[in-house]
Structure 1
């Protein structure tokens, strides 16, 4: 295999054409010595649409645990025995404190997440109230991740000031029953369609490394493309002790980078975000992930810790990238101004290095 195939895939992506399935499989199955050429080709596509900008998202777990779903990957699932904090909807003051931190970290998007199948009436009203307060206080785009939504709820979120709604497909239609039984792939697709119909930006991605096949990886990306999803978080499974997938170990840094390259070829203009598992699985190669992807979470995830914010900003700067403001322009100023030299972090989950 030579770099000519990867450059051909970049040319096709820039022309709006889909690669063949065989070529898509080839990206995932290529030898390690092909990885630099793959990254270089994916960078051509990423740079065409996003330049050298990196978009930051800040995640708040506004309601943790207490979920009736049985997702095998999730530490908040009803079947999970993982030791996590469980709490109902945070008070408005706590949410505003988190939004203050998101603004200080130069995040362009504040992502508010609640656990559960779908939001009840009282919780949903609290979410709407919090969104209005955050919008009045900060120039932040707001993403809501609330589970399954109706069309009326999607419109209410937009009216309150939500910019986009996250609802991950998580995996392919074929593999979904192996991951969860309390909802279907079609349930998740329906929510993404409701979000798009309401005029909100769609944010949907997946969790890779759950035991899926290469074709499942490809099919997930094709489903996201068919739904015209605009923002694609790519999570890499953290096998948390106490979850059904605690013993699943299928990823290494090079596999993660090949997935990111493939997704850039299949989803050329989309925002591709390296989400949960970035620090655990990419490890010393995290900066390389920014060549196919153009976005990361800064701070923590739902029930696991992320890297220190200063370390992430240094990584972005050292690799020659610049931060992106909420309106899409390069950030003008010192992104380190409000970031302390260090702050205490809980340890990352320890996994066997493969």
Structure 2
């Protein structure tokens, strides 16, 4: 099997915990370079990948002809600059979600990747969550009839402000809409396609917060309403997914286990039950013909990187495209505009 040399640009929690173990579980991808200057992260990178070159200069990656794929794992406001430089250097690129803070930047990267004939993808890994894959199966089977309403939550209880750039003011791409919202928006667009209009209520609820920490975004379709919600002051959580159709409904509590498993040091390689949800958090289906538990599909974040590998080799079409990721950012832009103007914004 052909090996592709992978360089990680960044080795904070996004690199060390959430990406490196997944990439390492994909046959054909080999992490050969890691860019980081933080002493703690340098030490961790050397321990985790003793044969990889741990570098402090991005040029050492860009100028190395052996590097095939660069994974951008840096704060959101740096995505555009680092992805652009990698594409200009002739490297395939995967950017951590969201692709960029603006559609203008995303459009420039898309154009550049097309010009260079390079793969540009985004780590919208949560479309490979167990619950989303289960909903895809449910919709394909048409057990609920015509879907009229879909609601999903990504809630946390964190009264304190978390240190770091995600909750800092005046940093492009900070705040809950770019962080958790980009996951929920990508999932919805994957399930239902582009909406006709967007309506949003975006708030700062915690007294010390400087950036939005709560949102409700509505994606409006001709015969379907999609509600996306997230907040940092939700203790005692309700359903994560609720779906209503002409033949019945589906309700799901609990979240995909992969993120928590990665935090605990588990990996797809050492966990034979990777991505499989326990029956106690399977969803509940209630239709004209059927009532009871509906078995969850396995979640697997490796699918994204397996597909990127095959797309680079020319064997598969890219599943998570930069254009799809750009549409996520367009929804975010329209959500902020809707919140300011207090009206629906046509999707364009």
Q: TM-score, normalised by structure 1?
A: 0.32
Q: Which has the higher strand share?
A: 2
Q: TM-score, normalised by structure 2?
A: 0.32
Greater RCO, 1 or 2 (C-alpha within 8 Å, sep 6+): 1
Q: Which has the higher helix share?
A: 1
Whose Rg is larger? 2
